[in-house]
Amino acid sequence: MDESMHESMDRSMDRNRKPYSYAFLLAGCLGLILLTAYISLTNGAFDITVRDTVRTLLRLDAQREFDLVIFEFRLPRIVIAALVGMGLGMAGTVTQSLTRNSLADPGILGINAGAGMAMVLFLFFVQDGIKGTGWGAVMAMPLAGWLGGLGAALLIYVFAYQHGRLDPQRLLLAGIAVSSGLSAVTVFITLKMNAQDFEMSAVWVAGSIYNANWKYIASMLPWLVVLTPVLLLRSRQLDLFRLHEDSVRGLGVAVEKERRLLLLCSIGIVSACVSVSGGIGFIGLMAPHLAARLAGSSHQRLLPLSGMIGALLVLASDLIGRTVFAPVELPVGIVISLIGAPYFVWLMYRSRRTQGSAA
């Protein structure tokens, strides 16, 4: 997708966007997130009434069975779902802007595959990591994922670097190729595991947060706390990346420096998410598109809204996978794929129509 087509799609989204108040959009998303979290907290194999939930959360009448269900099983799962969705939504926004391609996301660029391969290696050699019993192993998981994502990004960077600059289109094609290769290596490694670890790794690779706990939250939270403000502070630079690279250079922006910084931040966020949830796809594709249709293409508005929409999508998908198909539980990655695949096809069809009308 070239620059003119991308700009045409942006103009189309801005024309079709209704004049919603941005504060109203944020408040509406927050309300839906809280509602979904409440439904997820009170519904499941062991239903809990509103009264019991409130009394347990406020510690008014603590009961062991309610404490176990809420604080050990459901609440960590809700928090991780929200954090993972937020991180993937924001990272997807950055990826689409850096590549100037509205069909790109961290999974297509190979970041997910690189982080996933590193995590499978980590789980293969460090058994405490997969069982969640050791603080040291759990806290090292995002770092292992970041190294894998960074390695994949460097490999893609080598393939996409041409004539002294990074070509966004070659970056996308190289990402698809590297992602396929790393995914094959990941499958090979899982086949070398014992039966129990293979089963757990297979569920994790599909994208699941069923094993969520407070240690996983503690391991990923510092990455989001440090890197998210960097992206928000670079929102103006991300707006400029929608222009042609020569135009951005003419405005005095250090293109390669900014691109590397933003890419490293995105890799860090995605790797932290992958380390606790596995390979959840399509969030980085859908959340930025939905946010852009509601709030326009300014990254100062787009980044926070993409994060909130991503959190809502993962929360809702996890709730669906856990309750609708009970007693069978579908991993959240599969539920999102069932929604994301048709959405991706629709986006491709829409972009072809936009390209045809622009011609």
Q: Report all structural domains of the chain as residue ranges with CATH numbers, in order of start.
A: 3-358 (1.10.3470.10)
In the predicted model, what is the mean pLDDT of residues 292-309?
A: 91
User: What percent of the chain clears pLDDT 90, i.e. is strictly above it?
Assistant: 21
Give CA separation, 116 vs 84, 111, 146, 154, 287, in Å: 15, 8, 10, 16, 21
Given a cut of 80, whether residue 316 has pLDDT beyond it is yes
Cis peptide preceding 327, ω within 30 of 0: yes
For residue 356, pLDDT over 80 is answered with: no
- Strand-pair partners of 162: 165
Question: For position 322, what pLDDT does the model report?
Answer: 87
> Residue 160: helix, strand or coil by DSSP?
helix
**What was the pLDDT predicted at 327?**
78
Compute the average pLDDT of residues 310-336: 88
Q: Which of 104-108, 144-148, 304-308, 345-349 has the highest mean pLDDT?
A: 304-308
Q: Is 218 left (phi over 0), alpha (psi -120 to 50) or beta?
A: alpha
Contact 220, 86 (CB under 8 A): no
Cβ–Cβ < 8 Å for 208, 215: no
CA–CA gap between residue 259 and residue 54 (Å, rounded): 46
Q: What is the pLDDT of residue 246?
A: 67
More confident residue, 87 or 204: 87
- Look at residue 93 in the predicted model and tell me its pLDDT: 93
pLDDT at 76 over 90: yes
Residue 7 pLDDT:
47
Q: What is the pLDDT of residue 129?
A: 45
- What average pLDDT does range 329-347 have in this prediction? 84
pLDDT at 90 over 60: yes
Q: What is the pLDDT of residue 186?
A: 87
Q: Is residue 334 a contact partner of residue 320, using CB atoms and an 8 Å limit?
A: no
Name the band, by pLDDT with cuts 50, 70 and 90, for residue 6: very low
Residue 1 pLDDT class (50, 70, 90 cuts) = very low
Per-residue model confidence (pLDDT) at position 164: 65
Question: 125-167, pLDDT tens digit by residue?
Answer: 775 444 545 667 777 778 888 888 888 888 887 887 776 666 6
Residue pair 336/282 in contact by the 8 Å Cβ criterion: yes
Query: Is 113:182 a contact under the CB 8 Å cutoff?
Result: yes
Instruction: Identify the pLDDT of residue 122.
Output: 82
Question: Which residues face 166 on adjacent strands?
Answer: 161
C-alpha to C-alpha distance for 262 and 268, rounded to whole angstroms: 10
CA distance 142 to 321: 25
Which range among 12-16, 57-61, 338-342 shows the weakest confidence by mean pLDDT?
A: 12-16
* Mean pLDDT within 80-104: 89
Which band of pLDDT confidence, cut at 50, 70 and 90, is reported for residue 178?
confident
